[in-house]
Amino acid sequence: MLKGTGVSGGIGIGRILLAEEHSLEYTPGQVTDTHSETKRLRDAVRLFCEKTEKQAQSLMISAGKEEAEIMRGHIAIANDPFMLTEVEKLISGGQCAEASFESMCDMFIQIFSSTDDDVTKQRAEDVRDVKTGVLAILLGVSTASLSDAPAGTIICAKELTPSMLAEINKENIVGILTETGSTTSHSAILARVMDIPAVMSVPGIMAAAKDKDTAIIDGTTGDVILSPDEEQLEKYTAARETLLRQRAELEKFRGKVTASADGTVYKLVCNIGKPDDAIKAMEADGEGVGLFRTEFLFMDKTSVPTEEEQFNEYKRAALILRGKPLIIRTLDIGGDKDIPYLGLAKEENPFMGFRAIRYCLKNQELFRTQLRAILRASAFGNVSIMFPMITCVEEVREGRALVEELKAELRLQGTAFDENIQIGIMTETAASGVIADLLAKESDFFSIGTNDLTGYTMAADRGNSDVSYLYSPLQPGVLRMIKSITEAAAAAGIPVGMCGEAAADPMMIPLLLSFGLTEFSVSAPSVLTVRKCISSWTKAGADRVTEKVMSLSTQKEIEEYLKTVVK
């Protein structure tokens, strides 16, 4: 059995189709007719965009409108004015079109790959896909096509790009296997939307797999079995049937109120990164958006988005939600999220440095622009503002004062906005946990960001394999921090949500119910699972579990106990 990362749930049983890319090797050469070489580049980019638009149209049918925008994002990358200008400068200096285009793409790939943020790394994969497509046209090489894959196919590739997936007949594909990729890659997202089981980052799978051999993949566990025997086939066929029944059971929770077994009602909302993600939240039966990560609007630009551009994006999300809550987090950059055009200085320890609310309060023109856009958008829905990475009361007060200034400006201009817009904070630092009672007096709501809260509380970087064993919300120190935050919110009479990954963890849910969490903000695919899990607990039952957990001394003890009681 081989092991990879399960990125799209389900069990796939079928025959392997090895998707091998043709070589794009070339010998870089100097050119003298730079005018003709520039024209050759432009023609290649034009042909790439035409082909990609056809792929987008195909994806719109097989996956949906939002997924089609992934391919249109590739068109935007290929047509990026800054990049094309720089490529043409290299050509004018005598470099061939292939080398010029590749070197600029590689520069962006290096920038996006250097971060620890998975979503930013995905941009590197998008640029890599564009580079491959344009180079193939320049070199006259045919790229791999999966349009003719027969029924019952498991695609096996070193890297499966969105452009390759755009051409498949999804009814014929029962699984996806790759050597590279992650849960946040666009290919993984497309696999989930198409409901195709997928396992990525399987070491050596291209060498191990044989064309047309039978294989089994488990997109949840990441298990891969090549050439299975009869016993394994029977076992996984039965498991697949069980999984389909479980999915049908989850559908019973669609359209239901999110409530515990004893009737306490909770908010179950979604995390999004762009306005169209709100469509997914609604389709998944989410009850709104608990976290709109606005930094991705900035990452998709080569300069700071204008107030009007931001306003239109926030307004779009608000209109999609039709009155359901939309919590917009102000710009959270720094740490592992860099935006090159903002010129952030390199820091020895960026996670402890000039980031998030600290950066925004010192760059008031940028911050005012964003806040004005959010305030204007609040006239079109149930919008709230949330400040990230709060560590002291002064930050909250300064942010709120700025909002009040901008409200006064908008009133004078006669511009509509929600006078009673709620302003909350992310409690994701150890300091915010320790002074949660003070911060609660300054905030309309809390949202616990368990990813950063865990890292800051345990002084452990989850990307560092040497200390990753410490990175868990089930660490006693983190649990006590979460408990103190929820208790402070309850004492102040304000709602408290959680938008970190722990909000969807079945082992965490009884603890969160007992602590007093009022809102769960999760990824769209997790909505029905979390709703079902919440429905299986009473407050008394959750309290009994929590009492035992809080008496234990180690993460291992807590995990072992929770495995015996989680339903």
Active site residues: 186, 499
Q: Do residues 240 and 37 make contact, with C-beta atoms less than 8 angstroms apart? A: no
Q: Do residues 377 and 318 make contact, with C-beta atoms less than 8 angstroms apart? A: yes
Tokens at residue 473, please?
């919300």
- In 118-196, the DSSP E strands lie at 153-157, 173-178
Q: How many Cα atoms are found within 13 Å in the side-chain-facing hemisphere of 253?
A: 22
Query: How long is the chain?
Result: 567
CA-based angle 206:211:217, to the nearest 5?
Answer: 65
Query: What residues contact residue 15 under an 8 Å CB cut-off, 6+ apart?
Result: 150, 152, 153, 154, 212, 213, 214, 215
The position carrying tokens 């409200």 is 407
CA distances from 318 to 314, 322, 327, 367 (A): 6, 7, 10, 20
207: buried, middle or exposed (CB in 10 Å: 19+, 13-18, 0-12)?
A: exposed
Distance CA 270, CA 184 (A): 16
Q: Which residues is 3 bridged to in the sheet?
A: 223
